[in-house]
Amino acid sequence: MGKLTTHILDTTLGSPAQNVKINLYKREGYNSVLINSAQTNSDGRCDEPLLSGMDFHEGCFELEFAVGDYFESKKINCPFLKDVVIRFYISDGSENYHVPLLISPYSYSTYRGS
């Protein structure tokens, strides 16, 4: 079985983004259903996979990162990005999916890692 993981790097400060709240949603039609919440550790990662075992399956998911609270904690005024939502699809339940987030106050990027 595969698993879903993530991590967040702050490209402004050149360091992992610590204490960022992350919500994981499963898309069901036009609705999003919350299935897990976590917070990043000092390495910008979650202590456990966001999805694994029997819960890990094919479908459409969304990761919601509360970056506005993170920037505020760093005394960085960021009226542009408050939440970053990444919608993605798991098409093979046997593979690992790693969805990293690179953030700055005015931009972000992501990719499928391994």
The CATH number of residue 55's host domain is: 2.60.40.180
Counted domains in the chain:
1
What gap in Å lies between CA 7 and CA 10, rounded to an integer? 10
Q: How far is CA 57 from CA 4, 5, 6, 67, 97, in A?
A: 10, 14, 17, 27, 11
pTM above 0.85, yes or no: yes
pLDDT in tens, 12-33: 999 999 999 999 999 999 999 9
DSSP 38-101: EE--TTSB-SS-SEEGGG--SEEEEEEE-HHHHHHHTT---SS-S-EEEEEEE--TTS-EE--E
Determine the length of the chain.
114
Residue 55 belongs to domain spanning: 3-110
Tokens of 83: 């939440």
Tokens of 14: 């050149």
pLDDT in tens, 36-75: 999 999 999 999 999 999 889 899 999 999 999 999 999 9
